[in-house]
Amino acid sequence: MAEHTDTAERTKNRTAYWLIAPGAVWMTLFLAVPILMIVYVSFWTQTTFKIEPILTLASWKQFFASETYIGSLFTTIRLWLIVLAATFVLGYPTALFVGLFVKSKTISTVLLVICVIPFWTSFLIRVLAWRPMLGKEGAINILLQKAGLISAPIEALLFSELSVVIGMTQIYVVFMVGPIAFMLSRIDRNIIEAARDLGASFWRIFFKIILPLSLPGVIVGAIFVSVMVLGEFATTAALSGRKVNLLGNIIVTQVGSLKWALASVVGVILTVIMGLVIAGFLRVVDLKKEL
Residues that bind other proteins (CB under 8 A): 188, 190-191, 193-201, 204, 208-209, 212-213
Shortest distance (Å) from residue 90 CB to other proteins:
25
Shortest distance (Å) from residue 204 CB to other proteins:
5
Q: Which CB atom, from 34 or from 212, has the smaller least distance to other proteins?
A: 212
Shortest distance (Å) from residue 207 CB to other proteins:
10
Shortest distance (Å) from residue 186 CB to other proteins:
10
Q: Which CB atom, from 125 or from 198, has the smaller least distance to other proteins?
A: 198
What is the rounded distance in angstroms from the CA atom of residue 46 to the CA atom of residue 261?
A: 6
Query: Within 10 Å of residue 1's Cβ, how many Cβ atoms?
Result: 5
Cβ atoms of 128 and 238 closer than 8 Å: yes
Q: Which CB atom, from 22 or from 199, has the smaller least distance to other proteins?
A: 199
Q: Which CB atom, from 180 or from 263, has the smaller least distance to other proteins?
A: 180
Shortest distance (Å) from residue 291 CB to other proteins:
14
Which residues make beta-bridge pairs with 51? 46
Q: Which CB atom, from 211 or from 234, has the smaller least distance to other proteins?
A: 211
What is the rounded distance in angstroms from the CA atom of residue 82 to the CA atom of residue 79?
A: 5
Cβ density class 127-157: b for 16+ within 10 Å, e for less = beebeebbbeebebbeeeeeeeeeeebbeeb
Q: Which CB atom, from 39 or from 187, has the smaller least distance to other proteins?
A: 187
Instruction: Dump the DSSP string for 220-279.
Output: HHHHHHHHHHHT--HHHHHHSTT----HHHHHHHHHHTT-HHHHHHHHHHHHHHHHHHHH
Shortest distance (Å) from residue 83 CB to other proteins:
28
Closest by Cα among 265, 245, 231 to 164:
245
Instruction: Dump the DSSP string for 172-201.
Output: HHHHHHHHHHHHHHTS-HHHHHHHHHTT--
Nearby residues of 238 by Cβ (< 8 Å), 6 or more positions away: 124, 127, 128, 130, 131, 167
Shortest distance (Å) from residue 197 CB to other proteins:
5
User: Dmax of the chain from CA atoms?
Assistant: 90
Closest by Cα among 219, 193, 194 to 290:
219
Q: Which CB atom, from 205 or from 225, has the smaller least distance to other proteins?
A: 205
